[in-house]
Amino acid sequence: MIIDQKYHIHTLDNGLRIVACRNEGGVSYIGAMVNAGSRDEDDNRQGLAHFVEHTIFKGTRNRRSCHIASRMESIGGELNAYTTKEETMVYTNAPAGYAARSFDLLADLIKNSTFPPNEIEKEKEVIIEEIHSYRDSPSDSVYDEFEELIYAGSGMAHNILGTPESVRNLSSADGRSFIDAKYTPGNMVIYCCSPEDPEKNIRLAERYFGDMEFTGNPNHRVMPPLPEPFLERRSLDNHQANCITGCRLFGRDDPRRHALFLLNNYLGGPCMNSRLNMEMRDRRGLVYTVESNIALMSDTGVMLIYYGCDPKQTDRCRAIISNEIDRLAQSPLSPRTFARVREQYCGQLIVSGEHRESRAMAMAKSLMYYGGVHDIAYTAEKIRSLSPGDLQEAAQLIAANELSTLILA
């Protein structure tokens, strides 16, 4: 077991990694992270990872769906899950003192889910309604459609939810085979952030997960091909144009990621004083919302800048975005401005760290991706070590790419 002042990390004999820490307050956050998502599906089973996330709650060899639903809620807690392109998270929160209940339930779901046919047929309709709800929201669907273009020719391109047709074709056997192949000890991290003794919780995790066998298949991910830059307009007959401008980037292991995240926050982060918000909304009144995001995967990534504007102003908005990136690429920020930008981001890290459930999940992701816990203090130290030149180089990286744009209007 590896122990530092905050984190206890232990690897079971079967290869399952566990990370635990003590949490102030009266709530325990416990979950299982799986290094598998929509890009790890077969092409003819699109939406399978998300389908499993939904239907894993529909019955096990030990519990019916109604018992699963009430197991945590009956004590005021929660059982939930989500799926991304490369990961699935199944997690609980509950008042302190119920860690054994959480571990027992999570282990039962992963080891014993049966995907009862009558239950999954009903849940397929729920998922299809979820697909339709995204299609009815262009500010959401524009992200999926942009990624279909920027990741074309790979498993990264298709929608995480799948299509109504692909979902209807999924079966109980598909769900169980995906669990058996991907929800395996070497492909998972169990996390626990609780007021209780971390070593005690690690022993509980071992009790419930220690008998799992590593019989699955490792992920065989192929980097998506680089697309030709595109400018695509799709007519929806909407009053507002929902747009994304962006480009492909490196993966999450690249040491330049910290400078890139700082650039992203300064350019189009959540604060009102971001460069794009000041230029496009405050000074010109062109948009209600503009925001920039970085999404780094195991072997690739994207920068996405979303903005909603009058359809007649899309070219003007694209020009402002390009001009701001070019300006940052051509000359570094002054030391005074850079210090302010850097400290603002570090302050945001501290504030976001107050969300304990997100912090617990981040602990698991860090162990999965980096082999240790890169917490807020670690990240802030990396950010504070940057210079104006590092931020300029990150801007030059973006400027060197011809930006692609998708417009839904």
Which tens digits make up the pLDDT trace of 170-197?
A: 999 999 999 999 999 999 999 999 999 9
**For residue 132, what pLDDT is reported?**
93
Report the mean per-residue pLDDT for the chain.
95
**For residue 74, what pLDDT is reported?**
97
Q: Which tokens hold the place of 268?
A: 């189009």
Backbone angles phi, psi at 108, to 5 degrees: -65, -45
- The pLDDT tens digits of the residues spanning 163-172 come to 999 999 999 9
d(C-alpha 59, C-alpha 351), whole Å: 39
In the chain, % of residues over pLDDT 90: 93
**For residue 223, what pLDDT is reported?**
93
On the question of pLDDT at 117 being above 80, the answer is yes
d(C-alpha 383, C-alpha 346), whole Å: 7
Pick from 53, 34, 16, 6: nearest CA to 193: 6
On the question of pLDDT at 58 being above 90, the answer is yes
Residue 80 buriedness (CB in 10 A; 0-12 / 13-18 / 19+): middle
The residue whose two tokens read 């744009």 is 405
In the chain, % of residues over pLDDT 70: 98
Backbone angles phi, psi at 254, to 5 degrees: -70, 130
Q: What SS3 state is found at 133? A: helix
Average pLDDT over residues 219-238: 91
Backbone angles phi, psi at 396, to 5 degrees: -65, -35
In sequence order, what DSSP letters do the residues of 332-391 get, joined into one string?
PPPHHHHHHHHHHHHHHHHHHTT-HHHHHHHHHHHHHHHSS---HHHHHHHHHT--HHHH
Q: Over the Cα atoms of the chain, what is R_g?
A: 22
On the question of pLDDT at 217 being above 90, the answer is no
Query: Residues near 77 by Cβ (< 8 Å), separated by ≥ 6?
Result: 92, 93, 94, 95, 98, 102
Average pLDDT over residues 97-105: 97
Q: Which tokens hold the place of 53?
A: 């996330």
**For residue 5, what pLDDT is reported?**
63
The residue whose two tokens read 């490196």 is 250
Average pLDDT over residues 353-377: 95
Q: What SS3 state is found at 84? A: coil
**For residue 2, what pLDDT is reported?**
62
The sign one gets for the Cα dihedral 161, 165, 168, 173 is negative
3-state secondary structure 161-221: CCCHHHHHCCCHHHHHHHHHHHCCHHHEEEEEEECCCHHHHHHHHHHHHCCCCCCCCCCCC
Cβ atoms within 10 A of the Cβ of 129, count?
10
**For residue 237, what pLDDT is reported?**
82
**The amino acid at 385:** S
On the question of pLDDT at 3 being above 70, the answer is no
**For residue 403, what pLDDT is reported?**
97
- The pLDDT tens digits of the residues spanning 306-362 come to 999 999 999 999 999 999 999 999 999 999 999 999 999 999 999 998 899 999 999
For the entire predicted model, the pTM comes to 0.94
| Measured CA distances, 151 to 158, 221, 224 (Å) | 8, 13, 6
At 136, the pLDDT band (50, 70, 90 cuts) reads confident
Q: Which tokens hold the place of 251?
A: 């993966």
Backbone angles phi, psi at 232, to 5 degrees: -125, 135
Average pLDDT over residues 89-104: 97
Average pLDDT over residues 116-124: 95
Q: What is the DSSP letter of 93?
A: E
Average pLDDT over residues 257-277: 97
Q: Indicate left, alpha or beta for 115 from its phi (over 0: left) and psi (-120 to 50: alpha).
A: left
